[in-house]
Structure 1
Amino acid sequence: MTTPEPATPVTTDAVRDYLHLDDQTDATALTSAVAAVNDLLVDWFGVPAVWPARRVQGGVMLASRIYRRRNSPSGVESFGELGPIYVQRNDPDVAQLLGLGHYQRPAVG
């Protein structure tokens, strides 16, 4: 008897809905971003029986951010009146949902 493959927390459809993508534009980049985030989440949190909603949403937001980042390889998001606008270094919403950085639970030992 084989064990079923554990469900991945983030799907390409969820990221596509989050970004309001209607077509299959750059589906390879989207699939790669989702696979990378799923791999990262499994490394960080293991494979629980059920993924908590906050981790799923954080994963969707992180995959969306990575997917959008392909348009700004040098870190420049756009140009405004005062010059270039750079990609934010940290995303506090993603950190909070995934329990990273300042939002990590204290541990002893």
Structure 2
Amino acid sequence: MHKLFSYGTLQLEKVQLETYGRLLKGNNDVLFNHKIEQLRITDPIVLAKSNKEFHPILIKSFSSEDKVEGVIFEITDEELAQTDLYEVDDYERVFETFESGTKAWVYVKKAT
């Protein structure tokens, strides 16, 4: 099993059902030294699942004042691969440590 931090559309029931075929269970947590910006989505499959043109995207801020609240879900290997497909090319998956001490995957803005 993997742990995955969601701060956006992966928390939506419709997205979970269409991506994983089930509703996920998780716990609230916080990621420090990051902030959220908005990303315009053009991928038609992602747009159909989320019904949202703009999705949040995490940016590393290096400021202890910045924090992002979200949920850490437990997902399978297959579900992690499905999440990689759902997240568009502007995102990359990284491993971070959260306020609770939990280590989890999270999708952030891809380094350019």
Give the TM-score band, short-chain normalised: under 0.3
User: Over alpha carbons, which structure has the higher Rg?
Assistant: 1
Q: TM-score, normalised by structure 2?
A: 0.27
From the two aligned structures, give the one with the greater strand fraction: 2
Flag the structure with more relative contact order, 1 or 2, with Cα contacts below 8 A and sequence separation at least 6: 2
From the two aligned structures, give the one with the greater helix fraction: 1
